[in-house]
Amino acid sequence: MSTETLLRDLREQLRDGGLHGCLLVRDLHTGDELGIDPDTQLPSASLVKVPLALATAERIRRGELDGGTLLDVPPGRITTPGPTGLSRFRHPARIAIEDLLYLSTCVSDGTAADALFDLTPPAQVAEILQELGLRGITVRHGMRELAETPVERFHAEQVHLAHALAIDAGTSGRGHRVPQLDTTRANTGSARAWVDLLGALWTPSKIHPDVALQVRDLMAHNMLRHRLAPDFSSDATTWSSKTGTLLNLRHEIGIVEHSDGQAFAIAVLTESLVPASTQPGADALMAQVARTLRDHLRQL
């Protein structure tokens, strides 16, 4: 099958599955890549925790922070489905900075991430990305804003109404009545920008090797493995990743490393057009399309 025919078929599969997808797969050794709308900017959701981890680890390397410093973290006390870790705690906890890094990145704990954002505010995270030559990822706010969406205002049996609003209230210029989905106000990034970040973490770049190693290790221990991991994990591969979920957004970025030495950076950003919070079929479709792109690229 030609590349053009393949991309057309994959677009149709995404559309038939109720998804608008922005994807990019890149061979880290050759630089060859395949994608679908890879330059479209979308809100990042929890993907922003990777730049946060990078900035925090870089500040520890510089001596600006001590990874062993203990912080008193207030409980998140969030009761709606989704949040993890400290976000669901009912009582204060004292936790070291490096352990907050683990909770934020590997467990996707928003309260842990906000404790790190208190140390390195969004503007400083963005500044460090610029210093490291990473473009295309915008960091404007922490995670508290992501816990204040329309979902929290509806009863469980009415959550579909929040998703309907997320789907229908956008503009052609990617503005949105829901601020967390408005690309002029939210944290954002394109599939290409996320793949560029992954490439900088996995291959020589301006990122210090010790910092890159620490972030890679965190992503290797990501505990949320329901989305792309089933299609990229095996005895002959390793899958290191970070997911992002917010209203109708379902994202994942990661690196698949093969035992033969090949490695591919993958970014899958999607918007669901189906007003439902639980969509295992969408997760499976994301993985299927990403793997098809990887398989085709691997054979070129």
CA dist list (Å): 192 to 102, 276, 291: 25, 28, 17
Q: Is residue 165 very low, low, confident or very high in pLDDT (cuts 50, 70, 90)?
A: low
Judged by average pLDDT, the poorest of 3-7, 60-64, 79-83 is 79-83
Tens of pLDDT, residue by residue over 280-297, are 999 999 999 999 999 999
Task: Locate 83 and state its tokens.
Answer: 């949040």
Give the model's pLDDT for residue 159: 61
Task: Locate 111 and state its tokens.
Answer: 């309260």
- How far is residue 22's CA from residue 195's CA, in Å, rounded to a whole number? 12
Q: Judge whether 37 and 269 are in contact, CB under 8 Å.
A: no
Give the model's pLDDT for residue 275: 85
Q: Is residue 1 very low, low, confident or very high in pLDDT (cuts 50, 70, 90)?
A: confident
pLDDT at 160 over 60: no
Cβ burial 239-260 (10 Å sphere, 16+ → b, else e): bbbbbbbbbbbbbbbbbbbeee
